[in-house]
Amino acid sequence: GEGAVAVGMRLQLMSLNGSLELICCICFVPCRSLNMDFENQDKEKDNSSAAGSFNGNSTNNSIQTIDSTQALFLPIGASVSLLVMFFFFDSVQVVFTICTAVLATIAFAFLLLPMCQYLTRPCSPQNKISFGCCGRFTAAELLSFSLSVMLVLIWVLTGHWLLMDALAMGLCVAMIAFVRLPSLKVSCLLLSGLLIYDVFWVFFSAYIFNSNVMVKVATQPADNPLDVLSRKLHLGPNVGRDVPRLSLPGKLVFPSSTGSHFSMLGIGDIVMPGLLLCFVLRYDNYKKQANSDSCGAPGPGNISGRMQKVSYFHCTLIGYFVGLLTATVASRIHRAAQPALLYLVPFTLLPLLTMAYLKGDLRRMWSEPFHSKSSSSRFLEV
């Protein structure tokens, strides 16, 4: 929950280059970290899978499931964090930058782990190397962590927007991989609350604080930790003073065709709808397995066979695309920052709820749909 609160501080859309945003979001929102979950929790494998946690524990032990209470209080926590950043940014910017860099390092190490496992498998045994109280790690885990640290250091030294986008994408994938929505009820509570949060802080915060709180926090660069360290240690004017200020990787940025300005998309606008997409993808595969076992409830008789074949995942994904396109057009028309969730939430939730009602699955999806069968059933985990 704490990581999601930090992500919530960046929920905003300033779309000045819509095509790049659409390509990036459609590629990374349905981040389907697929595992075959056979519910064999009695056996623990020593070798971690590609989607396992970085310290080798089982993925199931690392997944955080959001409940109704957390979904209701998440927008409140995000609002408090946003106000702290707005009023005390100068005091907490270095700490927040370091924490963001650490989280990005861990997230990108998780993202690089499958590739490193593939590269080290032919030439390195899977034995773990002990580092005392820090734990035991495989060669692939050490390699992925080293590459991630190198990437973060290069970003700190250069502040390049491509590296920042790469780190933001790693945060998106890690959030979607380790956070789960258990039901449609929790999904509606979470997205509706964040919709109100996004609209309020983009459209109405200026009337109270005389400034657009969301835009100011999202666009304000932070001091480079190397610059702060060189000033604290009095290392001289030429040591660590030429590093740029950092735009924190809580958003994706893309330069315009002229290079005079950037368009920005908060990673919360990717992660939160992405969690919904993962939920409906899990349900699609769960329902397919249930129907193959002759345990699925048939849809209403007036629903055509073609309608029954349309998956919830594709319906929600198309809704996300249309919502983002609408937000892009709205921001170009109004020439101002737009709360992306104002468009993404209705275009994803409403088609999903309508289709679930027509197919007769709404009641089952609403409350704990995956607990209705025995835990021995096998379905595709996302």
**Residues assigned a catalytic role:** 198, 269
Look up residue 354 and give its two tokens. Answer: 């309508």
Look up residue 335 and give its two tokens. Answer: 């020439």
Sheet of 251-255: strand order equals: 13-14, 262-266, 251-255
| Rounded-to-integer distance, Cα 1 and Cα 7, Å | 10
In order of 6, 11, 207, 266, the CA distances from 250 in angstroms are: 8, 9, 25, 6
Listed in sequence order, the residues at least 6 apart from 99 whose beta carbon sits closer than 8 Å to its beta carbon are 6
